[in-house]
Amino acid sequence: MDTGFDLDRYLTEGVESIVRDALAASLKNPKETAFLLSYALAAKRAAAARQAHAESGRHIPSFLIASITNRCNLHCAGCYARANNLCDDGAGDALLTDEEWARIFSQAAQAGVSFILLAGGEPMLRRGVLERAAARRDILFPVFTNGTLLSDGMLALLDEHRNLVPIVSIEGDERLTDARRGSGTYAKLAANLERMHQQGILFGVSVTLTTENIDVVTGDAFLDTLRAFGAKVAFYVDYVPADPGTEALAPGDAERARLADRLDELRRVQDGMVYVSFPGDEQFSGGCLAAGRGFFHINPTGGAEPCPFSPVSDVNLKQVSLLEALDSPLFTQLRASDLLKGHHDGACALFGKDEELAAMRGGVA
């Protein structure tokens, strides 16, 4: 049934809203404001490029997620990357090179991609890739980091290149953060957040939402702490139980509804922070945005995957272009199927769908 829903318009307006909110949050920071004004023009050009592709029958997502390394200096409890063997601290011979990532970033910019979320592993272990990303000032790169490797040299890179926006993982207060990420982690994060604040670097935080921490991470005390640190963006990401036995931690419908109500309240207050949730607005986007509907995931070795929680691929960016990856048989079949539509449990509609995905890619997931 035709619902009249326009995905391209929805995503374009979403990009414009994020940029507009980021501008509002940085008005007291002239350096950041100057960059965001310039980026706003680039975002409009990207929207025009996506529209041109749409008119020829190809949908270009506004976002990409790029896991640029399989190494990490932490071993966090319940980490989806380690559970999926994405993060194994192994040899890097098969990883995409800095120049291969630069080629992908260039193709993304030409296609009209506005945001590329850099993840890992720990992305700050790949400074060369970050430098290649920094050169693409027409793309905004949120860098999802555990926040423990913010050296003076890394802070200088972030200060000089404002299209790199560090998003630091934090689980709530000191007890919750150290319980998941290791003793003493919270103290390191607090010190590094303060250093970024002192240098006027735009940064945010990423919170993995669970049934255990929802009260803390949506409460006034925690949010007051984030504002005092100087954070301007807060990402709330539903926990996906990639580790067997952790299913009870995954937010259900009740927790999602509570989060949605709370974020609506916070957005009305306009407290100088931008609030983003994932999957968040899926109910307004006609289903899950994976497999190129709104984004797709590139793993450290170049595999094009529907999303980070669904490590299945049938093409590799070492051999194909970004546009060819979007047209892969797996992505094409997924977008035409019912797997991405409707209600589902957990943050990923494809979690636990290994057999269906294996059939689409013609092999074993």
Q: Does 2 reside within a domain? A: no
Q: What is the pLDDT of residue 124?
A: 96
Q: Does 264 reside within a domain? A: yes
Q: Does 18 reside within a domain? A: yes
* Token digits of residue 253: 């419908």
Q: Does 356 reside within a domain? A: yes
CATH number of 115's domain? 3.20.20.70
Q: What is the pLDDT of residue 364?
A: 40
Which strand ranges, in their side-by-side order, compose the sheet holding 115-119? 274-278, 233-238, 204-209, 164-169, 141-145, 115-119, 63-67, 297-298, 304-305
Contacts of residue 151, Cβ cutoff 8 Å, sequence gap at least 6 = none
Q: What is the pLDDT of residue 309?
A: 81
* Number of domains the chain contains: 1
Interval 177-209: pLDDT, tens:
999 999 999 999 999 999 999 998 989 999 999
Q: Does 232 reside within a domain? A: yes
- Helices 127-134, 98-111: inter-axial angle, 10-degree rounding: 30
Contacts of residue 237, Cβ cutoff 8 Å, sequence gap at least 6 = 206, 207, 208, 209, 277, 278, 347
Q: Does 166 reside within a domain? A: yes
Q: What is the pLDDT of residue 223?
A: 96
**pTM exceeds cut of 0.85:** yes
Q: What is the pLDDT of residue 272?
A: 80
Q: Does 19 reside within a domain? A: yes
**Domain that residue 93 falls in:** 7-361
Interval 252-269: pLDDT, tens:
888 988 998 998 899 888
In tens digits, what is the pLDDT along the chain, a chain of 365 residues? 344 445 556 556 666 777 777 777 777 788 888 888 888 899 999 999 999 999 999 999 999 999 999 999 877 776 766 666 666 665 555 899 999 999 999 999 999 999 999 998 999 999 999 999 999 999 999 999 999 999 999 999 999 999 999 999 999 999 999 999 999 999 999 999 999 999 989 899 999 999 999 999 999 999 999 999 999 889 999 888 877 778 888 888 889 889 989 988 998 887 788 888 877 655 555 678 888 988 999 999 999 999 888 888 999 999 999 999 999 999 999 988 888 875 555 556 777 677 788 788 764 44
Q: Does 1 reside within a domain? A: no
